[in-house]
Structure 1
Amino acid sequence: MGKASMLVLILAVAVTGCKDGDSFWESFIPETDEEPTSTQIEGYVFYPAVQPATDANIAQLKVPAGFAVNKFTDGVGKPRILVVGDQGQVYASDREAGIVMMFTDNNNDGVADNKKTVATIKQVHGLSIHNGKMYMVAVKEVYVADMNPDGTLGQPRMLISDLPDGGQHPNRTIGFGPDNKMYLTVGSTCNSCPEPNGENATILRADEDGSNRKVFAKGLRNTIGFGWHPQTSELWGMDHGIDWLGDDEQKEEVNQIKQGADYGWPYIYGEGKYNPGDRPEGDTTYQQYLQKTTLPTLTYQAHSAPMSMAFYNGSGFPAEYQNDAFVAMRGSWNRSKPVGYKIVRMHFENGKPVRFEDFVTGFIVNNNRAHFGRLVGVAVHKDGSLLFSDDTNGVVYRVSYTGK
């Protein structure tokens, strides 16, 4: 479809009905199959054209006063998730190529001097360094490898081989919590549907060796970016909203992820709205499902596509950035005007997210008709800079604070 935009008119008809009653939920949410209910939604597909990451394009990127952006490395395929080793080595996954790359900046000038492939795993995506080992997750498998003193990896060993099929959301991510447990994100197989496999649309938790795997939280359509607040140790994640509900629905969700919680997908979304395309199964009504749904703490512009999230606890940025989070917004395809394509800062106050503000913008060019970066990975470097990846032009960017 490329540069063109296409208007798609969706008529979603669910054979449902309404009860008498005064409350909003009783009056407007269909609860039985006695009466038909119809919903008409205007949906769009619009992919901005792709431009190269030229010096001129990069020069017009906008960051807050005192910050600067440069290419840390480029020409590296389709870098996705980023992690940083203890000695400052930077690792990136490339799911399409099935490799993990290592970048080193030997002279500390903010530009990588050396690039090396350190693992080859089909469809590898999520990365996490824990207790001196590299953990890597593909669609259905989790691997671990010892880390050598020079940052290279030993032979990967498979810990898990039977994660659910990927479907629409095959990009698994992995992290280790303060409890030393392994956390795995498993997206939904579809835009909106009841899942036959109870491990889809969840975050899973397992022991360090991959054993004792259980569903930690469910009703999460596709939570790629997640992490633990440095002060409170509470787990936060950003979930992708449902597509085809219009330009401004469903908003992206910021959720505090708690054990045993249900975040509503596919039946309840956002601030407690019902999804007309899917009814709760059995005799459960929308209202009943709402009562057991954990609603988001904060929301963000629909279709921005939140990817990696990293809490800032480095020493390179001003003190007010401490314990805030940075999120890569990959960018929209399912709305009439593009949104996302940026790095945003999520402000936390008293351990809770309260608002967003732009941090790196300008990847949308040519009067909203083109872009030169769809962003994925975010990581804090050992020198206090912020790294983020673009898998469109094969670039890893670095944001540093100069104070000027």
Structure 2
Amino acid sequence: MTTRQHHTAPLARLTLLPLLLVATGALAAEAQYGADPQLPEPQRGLLPNMGVPEQTPWDERKPEVPEGYTITAIATDLQVPRQTLVLPNGDILVAEGKGGGNAPKVRPKDFIAGLIQSQGTTAVKSGDRLTLLRDADGDGSYEQQTVFADGLNAPYGLALVGNDLYVANQDALVRFDYQPGQTAARGAPETLTPLPAQINHHWTKALTASPDGQYLYVGIGSNSNITERGMAAEVDRAEIWQIDTASGAHRTYASGLRNPTALTFQPGTDTLWTVVNERDELGPDLVPDYLTSVQAGGFYGWPYSYWGQHVDPRVRPQDPAKVASAIAPDYSLGSHRAPLGVAFSNPAVGGEFSNGVFVSEHGSWNRADPVGYKVVFIPFENGKPAGDPVDFVSGFLASDDTTRGRPVGVSVAPDGAVIIADDLTNAVWRVTRDASAAAEAPSDMGAGSSDRTSDDTAGETEKAPTPETEPAGSGSDTNNA
């Protein structure tokens, strides 16, 4: 596949000069995966160690997937695709856009960090729209691509409850009427409730619906790394809101989550899960980003502590009572991976990937050695993470530390296809199991059964067709700060 790049020229990898830094220790830390990660001592200096890989085109390459699976680009030349939603008839909605940009720079390092972060983003203008992809004949080529709705404000999270399609813009949760088979919205959306949008240091608003469709859950990131703009700027931030679909009334469901970037319910349960981007500037191996179940009323540490009761000495005033109440997350993903997507698998995915979750890692900017830039699978046993992450889609980061793409949202279709948005390539990728691999292991369908068919779709669904043929196409892009 030839992929067209939209930036004007390759950008050299940027790493701050050592004379600006304190010693950072080993760049390659021990693996920090699982429930009990090894946490080094904090490292602080004049400036954090930062670097973004140079952008490079795919040319004829593709991302790498496990043996027995095939990956294809089903849409290209999009306008900053972030999250996707598989609709009941098999259509795929893509939220396109990028927000923020209004956070004032309060420290010299903010200017430098902003410059470096910008090297890992696309030059393509924010789409501020939803695009619908359709494979009408089930041949694997999504030949129909239409703008479902435009004029939105940095849309990100998506959820369908019956005939109500919800979109989390960066400033409001809105609702469209949706009828099966629609290729375009019929009119402007209705605002269900405003969302915090001042400063918007972390602008993305993650979204999922409860299994019964009564509530929506919205992830709202902090307005700073570690309260450098003051606590007044953090009112209603670093939280997950629970919103009543009938009235729009909301309450804080959980707090102390620095930047909850994706949400989903565990199939067959009422357990909410999220992935969270943790704080920076404590060294290349602090603080681990994480996957966790979310307890109603739970507090997860930010800003006062991390990974339970590890106090962050930078926060003033400190709050020992809040630290004592902080819940340690379920599963460490490692530091600075920048997870932006999470989706539970289903039996149709097959093989060792039948029971667990997929997490997309957008990739680091805040350490010299890049990490992340892939989609990993975390196996589950007895409803909990069990074991190290397994690479499911990699190759976004090349061996020479250049990057071809950055995965964002991930969705799993009823037919087992895994859908990945890539906001650097400006494409949507689709991973399917080869027919020969599925035929060799018919027993796979018994594991990890699910009562739900699509991560953010509540209500009855139809099974989508199983495409086999690779489409033709070409295409081309922030760490979610």
Superposed pair shares fold, TM > 0.5? yes
Say which of 195, 199, 202 aligns to 2:231. 195
Q: Secondary structure at the match of 1:290?
A: helix
- 2:16 is matched with 6
Say which of 210, 216, 239 aligns to 1:182. 216
C-alpha separation in 1, matches of 2:90 and 2:379:
26
Matched letter for residue 348 of structure 2: S
Q: Secondary structure at the match of 1:236?
A: strand
Say which of 36, 50, 55 aligns to 1:50. 55
C-alpha separation in 1, matches of 2:383 and 2:316:
35
C-alpha separation in 2, matches of 1:3 and 1:103:
34
C-alpha separation in 2, matches of 1:392 and 1:103:
19
| Long gaps (5+) in structure 1 | 12-28, 30-36
Say which of 363, 375, 391 aligns to 1:343. 375
Matched letter for residue 303 of structure 1: H
Q: Secondary structure at the match of 2:416?
A: coil
CA RMSD of aligned residues (A): 2.3
- 1:142 is matched with 173
How far residue 341 of structure 1 moved from its aligned partner, in angstroms, is: 0.6
C-alpha separation in 2, matches of 1:46 and 1:344:
22
Which structure has greater strand proportion? 1
Say which of 316, 323, 327 aligns to 1:290. 323
1:70–1:399 CA contact under 8 A, matched in 2? yes
- 2:32 is matched with none
Map 1:34-49 → 2, pairs under 5 A: 40=45, 43-49=48-54
1:231–1:323 CA contact under 8 A, matched in 2? no
1:41–1:244 CA contact under 8 A, matched in 2? no
C-alpha separation in 1, matches of 2:308 and 2:285:
13
How far residue 361 of structure 1 moved from its aligned partner, in angstroms, is: 1.0
How far residue 133 of structure 1 moved from its aligned partner, in angstroms, is: 1.9
How far residue 300 of structure 1 moved from its aligned partner, in angstroms, is: 1.4
What are the superposed Cα offsets for residues 45-95 of structure 1, whole Å, 9 maximum, x if unpaired? Answer: 11111112322x21xx33222111111111112111100111011010112
- 2:138 is matched with 108
Aligned-residue sequence identity (percent) comes to 27
- 1:391 is matched with 423
- Greater Cα shift, 153-162 or 248-257: 153-162
Matched letter for residue 151 of structure 1: Q
1:363–1:372 CA contact under 8 A, matched in 2? yes
Say which of 83, 86, 89 aligns to 2:88. 86
What are the superposed Cα offsets for residues 194-213 of structure 1, whole Å, 9 maximum, x if unpaired? Answer: 53243100000010135221
2:394 aligned with 1:358, yes or no? no
Matched letter for residue 209 of structure 2: F
2:56–2:403 CA contact under 8 A, matched in 1? yes
Higher relative contact order (CA 8 A, sep 6+): 2
1:345–1:359 CA contact under 8 A, matched in 2? yes
Say which of 330, 335, 341 aligns to 1:302. 335
The structure-2 alpha-carbon separation of the partners of 1:41 and 1:298, relative to structure 1 and needing over 3 Å to count, comes to farther
What are the superposed Cα offsets for residues 100-157 of structure 1, whole Å, 9 maximum, x if unpaired? Answer: 0001112222221011111111222211111122100111211111113323322211
- 1:250 is matched with 287
Map 1:213-232 → 2, pairs under 5 A: 213-232=250-269
- 1:24 is matched with none
Matched letter for residue 112 of structure 1: Y
